[in-house]
Amino acid sequence: MNVTADSVPDELLRRFDVSGPRYTSFPTADRFVEAFTADDYKQALTQRRSGLATKSLPLSVYVHIPFCESLCYYCACNKIITKHHDRAAPYLRYLAREVELHAEKIGVGQSISQLHLGGGSPTFLTDAELRELMAMLRRSFTFLPAGEYSIEIDPRTVDAARLDVLAELGFNRLSFGVQDFDPAVQKAVHRVQPAEQVFSLVAAARARGFDSINIDLIYGLPRQTPESFARTLAQVKQLRPDRIALYGYAHLPERFKPQRRIDAPELPSGAAKVAMLSQSLSAFLSAGYVYVGMDHFALPDNALAIAKRQGRLHRNFQGYSTQPDCDMIGLGVSSIGRIGATYSQNAKTMEEYCDLLDQGRFPVVRGLALSRDDLVRRAVIMSLMCQGQVLFESIDLAYLVECRSYFAKELEELQSLVDLGLVTIDATGIQVTAKGWFFVRAVAMVFDRYLQSDRTRARFSKII
């Protein structure tokens, strides 16, 4: 699927400037219910251990480190703002308890092919604490040699010496939170970090041989203009990271308290946001990046771009992945996991998380057991999101349905996207076009039976 900047008219960018899920799961996390308990989670783990087809498959593990030294006003993550680094030690002890509970249910030595440390700021932890965390995980899990082991980095908390420690601990992928290089924008969102600092760290990381370096960017922040963001884009092209994640800022101060500190009149207009998105697409595609999907770009020789070309792209709660579709264990406060046909989420407050572990219980407080219809729709949505197509016969055989009749209403609704040149439909299936790949979330939303009203969609970020 060849995608060029010319494939994306501004008119379409404006038309699809609407809210919708990111589909890191289906059903999405806002559908989780408290009726799904820790006992249901334990049962899912037991079924994994006893299942001949599942117990030998490698796991993905996510660890949430909630601590940050300072507040970024745009942030919508679950975090704890503190300069008291002594809070990390007891948290690690609770993480150890949670790991032990998993080892008791699924056995010691389960293979891991993917690990991601997110937050918050995982680099809030000291080098000694990071060593303790990784040793704890290695005591209970077996890390596969070809796995992806990544960590999110606040450039303000890392130097070249710390990069040495991360390499020593087995991390092979780094993600730097940049957002914007413009000093005025950085000041407006309370995240000041000189561009020189990021350039120096990326150079040091390359010298140490990390497999992949990602840069996170956000458009739509206060004081951003198309002109100022063009300068940031030029700097990113000069930096040339292996991957770029480009997110549109969603201003939802009623849901996320930190955003109340943002001066709303300083936010760019909708037209300015569309202009920034359009120039970003042009900048990265003209620089040789592959548009992987949604808001992710990668250099052609990066594993993510290769996986897309080969049809091996997958999607989980961390976004696009090269790893096979696998169970995910979420560790830490607010973490989300997937075991078999279930999703689960840990307690969102530190107090409840710790209290449940003190009782010897998994800290799961909500989740979902997927219905047969959920599983069919998940297969369709993930096929669209990752491969850009749905082959009717594959779905028919895997789920014992007749796609064209099962999704008759959805196929009729897709006709408007066919008319716009975003998808094609024939007897064999649905194909997302080069132009449609930029709006793949809109295509996937057609198959989401939970999206019943605009009020529901308002909970999500913009789809472009």
Residue 440 within a domain: yes
Q: What is the CATH number of the domain that holds 298?
A: 3.80.30.20
The top-scoring range by mean pLDDT among 42-56, 121-135, 283-297 is 121-135
Q: 162-194: per-residue pLDDT in tens? A: 999 999 999 999 999 999 999 999 999 999 999
Residues 11 and 40 in one domain: no
pLDDT grade for 459, boundaries at 50, 70 and 90: low
pLDDT at 351: 97
Tell me the pLDDT band of 93, cut-offs 50, 70 and 90: very high
* Domain of residue 396, residue span: 1-27+371-464
Query: Sorting pLDDT into bands at 50, 70 and 90, what band is 7?
Result: low
pLDDT computed for residue 2 by the predictor: 47
pTM recorded for the entire structure: 0.91
User: In this predicted structure, which of 85-94, 110-119, 288-297 has the lowest mean pLDDT?
Assistant: 288-297
> Residue 262 burial (CB < 10 Å; 0-12/13-18/19+)?
buried
Contacts 24+ apart (CB under 8 A), 135-139: 136/92, 136/95, 136/96, 136/99, 137/61, 137/63, 137/99, 137/112, 139/108
Q: Do 323 and 404 fall within a single domain?
A: no
How far apart, in whole angstroms, are the C-alpha atoms of residue 205 and residue 405?
52
Residues 6+ apart with CB under 8 A from 261: 71, 73, 190
Q: Does residue 23 sit in the same domain as residue 35?
A: no
Mean pLDDT, the chain, integer: 91
Q: Which helix (H) or strand (E) holds 315?
A: strand 314-316
Predicted confidence (pLDDT) at residue 196 exceeds the cutoff of 90: yes
pLDDT bucket at 372, cuts 50 / 70 / 90: very high
Mean pLDDT of 65-83: 92
41 and 18 in a single domain? The answer is: no
**Pair 226, 270 in one domain:** yes
User: Cα–Cα distance between 366 and 36 in angstroms, integer?
Assistant: 5
> 363 preceded by cis ω (within 30°)?
no
Domain count, the chain: 2
CATH number at residue 436: 1.10.10.920
Q: What's the token pair of residue 329? A: 């264990």
